[in-house]
Amino acid sequence: MDIKILGPGCAKCKTLEKLTRDIVEQNNIEATITKVEDIVEIMKYNIMTTPALVVDGKVEIKGRVPSADEIRKLLMR
């Protein structure tokens, strides 16, 4: 699984990254997590509000920090 956290480094972006990393570790999910802070790269995903969570190339969540449970359900399906 390829996971990308899109965001320039704001508090919400950092929170989403930490939550995602914690859930991947706690649930032994095999995944590569990349933090994308380059605005040009973020724009390629047509994201207007950050943070965003991209899983295997698909934007799953954008513009908010989801709950840990929501991230877990998304990654465990």
The residues carrying an active-site annotation are: 10, 13
- Average pLDDT (17-32) is 97
How does residue 66 score in pLDDT terms, banded at 50, 70 and 90?
Answer: very high
List of residues 6+ apart from 76 with CB closer than 8 A: 27, 29
User: What's this model's pTM, rounded to 2 decimal places?
Assistant: 0.93
Can the peptide bond before residue 51 be classed as cis, meaning omega within 30 degrees of 0? Answer: yes
Query: For the chain, which domains are there?
Result: 2-66 (3.40.30.10)
Say what the pLDDT of residue 11 is. Answer: 94
Residue 77 has pLDDT above 90, yes or no: no
List of residues 6+ apart from 22 with CB closer than 8 A: 68
At 72, give phi and psi (nearest 5°).
-60, -50
